[in-house]
Amino acid sequence: MNKGVLNVISNSSIAERIFRLEVEGDLVGCMTQPGQFVHVKCGTGIDPLLRRPISICDVDIERRRLTMIYRAEGHGTHVLSQYVPGQPLDILGPLGEGFPVEGRKVGEHALLVGGGIGVPPLYYLGKELKKRGVRVTFVIGFGTASQVFLKRELAELGEVHVVTLDGTAGIKGLVTDVLTEEYGLKTSDWDVLYSCGPLPMLRALQDTYQAAGKEGYISLEQRMGCGIGACLACVCPVQEPGEGKKYRKICSDGPVFAFGEVQLV
């Protein structure tokens, strides 16, 4: 965990309200675990005041470059979307516990399921899994065709299934509609599931596949204060309290949790 000033290399729109931001600096050297996030100070003044948590999409350790993909949704991310190449950006990170990839074996098959702005961290995860000889299949869901991004990049790592709510790109429906025997992605075909996206999607995946006895990990999102575990703003209750643990902090115990670890409320 550290804090640094990184220089913006590029910052441009790649889909409806979606921006791809690349920054360069020494801090990138420690961003080795997929699924972690960075806490970004958007602007230099007091409005917005708090940092914004943004997932790590890709890291190039040798070139000291970090890629983030974010949605310009509120005030902070709108300010961020105005950054131009050469501008310094104050970043805290890498933060949190990411997706566990240690121990995955050559020849295993991992299913990576993302929804909307939950898709970016799956890219770095897919790269790390592929490096370990794990076969990766992506299922990514969006609202409509103009919101689809990263499809081409993910396709370089494995099979990609695109789903949109209105059917304007890929299959019409929800990501869970693709994860059916009729569609061809049989539960018995894959060994582990990693997911990031809207809460109802994560809940559906956990409910279905935890019951089926599958190993799986989900990445959560919550409004944060400090991002390092001190303010207790982003807590979630554990599924079965034990050993004194009744809640987990999304920023520092997560954002990634194993199936069944926390209640998805």
Partner 1 sequence: MTTSAKNRLAVNIAGIEMKNPVMPASGCFGFGREYAQFYDLNKLGAVAVKATTVEERQGNPTPRVAETPGGMLNAIGLQNPGLDDVMAYELPWLEKFDQLPVIVNVAGTVTDDYIKVAERVSEAPNVAGIELNISCPNVKCGGITFGTDPEIAGQLTAEIKKVSKVPVFVKLSPNVTDVVTIAKAVEAAGADGLSMINTLLGMRIDLKTRRPILANGTGGLSGPAIKPVAIRMIYEVSQQVSIPIIGMGGIQSADDVIEFFMAGASAVAVGTANFVDPLICPTIIDELEAKLDHYGVQTIGELTGAGWKR
Pick out the residues of the known binding site for [2Fe-2S] cluster.
226, 231, 234, 251
CA 212 to chain centre: 24
Alpha-helical (H) ranges within the chain are: 75-80, 120-131, 151-155, 175-178, 199-211
Q: Which of 228, 260, 263, 264 binds partner 1 (CB under 8 A)?
A: 228
Q: Which of 199, 252, 260, 263 binds partner 1 (CB under 8 A)?
A: 252
Q: Which of 51, 71, 135, 214 binds partner 1 (CB under 8 A)?
A: 51
| 229 near partner 1, rule: CB under 8 A | yes
Among the residue ranges 77-85, 140-148, 226-234, 253-261, the one whose residues contact partner 1 (CB under 8 A): 226-234
We find the least distance from the C-beta atom of residue 173 to partner 1, in angstroms, to be 24
**Binding-site residues from annotation for FAD:** 52-55, 69-71, 76-77
| 245 near partner 1, rule: CB under 8 A | no
Radius of gyration of the chain (CA): 18
Question: Pairing relation of β-strands 18-24 and 235-242?
Answer: unpaired
Structure tokens at 251: 């920023």
* 237 Cβ contact list (under 8 Å, min separation 6): 246, 247, 248, 262, 263, 265
We find the least distance from the C-beta atom of residue 13 to partner 1, in angstroms, to be 23
Count of alpha carbons within 13 Å of 139, Cβ hemisphere only?
A: 23
| 186 near partner 1, rule: CB under 8 A | no
Q: Which of 62, 223, 240, 242 binds partner 1 (CB under 8 A)?
A: 223
Q: Closer to partner 1 at the Cβ: 73 or 166?
A: 73
